[in-house]
Amino acid sequence: AFKDTGKAPVEQEVAIHRIRITLTSRNVKSLEKVCADLIRGAKEKNLKVKGPVRMPTKTLRITTRKTPCGEGSKTWDRFQMRIHKRLIDLHSPSEIVKQITS
């Protein structure tokens, strides 16, 4: 009971999403390596890539007294932890992004 319109069947188009991947790390070398791997995988699949966008580094600081008892000269320790952040935008179907990131 179907009419033949003479047109070929149209393939189902896959929805293309803008997917943002946020990477954070204390180690800059490993973060840049992961960014490069993700971008290389996306370029091999011919995806539209934006990034890596380098966000400002967060510096967490804690200043504490060196002596546990409070006696003696007032000397202080200053500790820091730097957190680096990168953003990568991909324009692709979610299935392809799952293949790249796994």
- pLDDT, one tens digit per residue, over 6-45 is 665 555 677 889 999 999 999 999 999 999 999 999 999 9
Q: Is 37 domain-assigned?
A: yes
How would you classify the pairing of strands 48-65 and 76-92?
antiparallel
Cβ-based neighbours of 27, under 8 Å, separated by 6 or more: 84
pLDDT reading at 102 higher than 60 = yes
Q: Is 23 domain-assigned?
A: yes
Q: Is 39 domain-assigned?
A: yes
Query: Structural domain tally of the chain?
Result: 1
Q: Is 35 domain-assigned?
A: yes
Q: Is 58 domain-assigned?
A: yes
Entry pTM = 0.76
88: domain CATH number? 3.30.70.600
Query: 56 lies in which domain range?
Result: 17-67+75-101
Name the 3-class secondary structure at 9: coil
Interior angle at CA 50, CA 99 and CA 97, nearest 5: 10
pLDDT reading at 46 higher than 70 = yes
Q: Is 88 domain-assigned?
A: yes
